[in-house]
């Protein structure tokens, strides 16, 4: 076994243990991964790491993503493994797109907030719009996320006009009359 295979094996073993511990926590939200599902997720993570030219030990960001997204209203048990796989791929892609300027926690906070508040659980919208615009800003030198920890950032980059809660309720009331 060469050094590369040994590092992957150690990383997968540690990662699986971390995912298993996270799985116990997520069960209270009705979310869990089977051993087969967790293994598929680890393999998907490894493919994403390879595709993005990254190296990671242990569960890396996978367990952070699990804890960050497990209580989202847009996550359902039958999609949990697929959502985690996509979020992991999206994370690594945009970590590279932002030239590692942003911390893992800042990126995950930004992803979770947009997933719930802007994208309504739509991963394509998260990846193709929200993170794309944010990554452009970061590459252009924007650093405001450092003070906010990644929270409340997207509004200043969003190109679409949005209704406030009050405007939405007023329009809804008008339609219901």
Please state the rounded mean pLDDT for residues 73-100. 96
Please state the rounded mean pLDDT for residues 84-89. 97
pTM beyond cutoff 0.85: no
Higher pLDDT residue, 60 or 8? 60
Higher pLDDT residue, 51 or 177? 51
Reply yes or no on whether the pLDDT at 3 is more than 50.
no
Reply yes or no on whether the pLDDT at 81 is more than 50.
yes
Please state the rounded mean pLDDT for residues 17-37. 88
Reply yes or no on whether the pLDDT at 58 is more than 80.
no
Reply yes or no on whether the pLDDT at 1 is more than 50.
no
DSSP the chain: --HHHHHHHHHHHHHHHHHHHHHHHHGGGT----HHHHHHHHHHHHHHHHHHT----TTTHHHHHHHHHTT-TT--GGGHHHHHHHHHHHHHHHHHHTTT-S-HHHHHHHHHHHHHHTSTT-HHHIIIIIHHHHHHHHHTT--THHHHTT-S-GGGT--S----HHHHHHHHHHHH-
Please state the rounded mean pLDDT for residues 137-164. 82
Reply yes or no on whether the pLDDT at 135 is more than 60.
yes
């Amino acid at each position: 076994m060469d050094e590369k295979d040994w590092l992957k094996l150690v990383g997968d073993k540690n990662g699986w243990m971390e995912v298993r511990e996270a799985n116990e926590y997520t069960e209270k939200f009705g979310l869990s991964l089977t051993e087969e599902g967790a293994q598929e997720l680890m393999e998907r993570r490894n493919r994403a790491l390879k595709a993005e030219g990254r190296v990671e030990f242990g569960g890396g960001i996978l367990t952070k993503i699990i804890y960050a997204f497990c209580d989202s209203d847009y996550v359902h048990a039958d999609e949990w493994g697929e959502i985690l796989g996509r979020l992991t791929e999206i994370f690594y892609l945009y970590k590279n797109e932002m030239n590692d300027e942003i911390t893992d926690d800042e990126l995950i906070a930004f992803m979770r907030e947009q997933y719930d508040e802007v994208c309504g659980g739509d991963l394509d919208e998260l990846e193709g719009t929200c993170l794309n615009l944010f990554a452009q800003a970061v590459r252009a030198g924007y650093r405001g996320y450092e003070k906010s920890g990644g929270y409340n950032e997207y509004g200043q980059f969003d190109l679409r006009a949005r209704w406030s809660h009050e405007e939405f309720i007023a329009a809804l009331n008008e339609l219901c009359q």
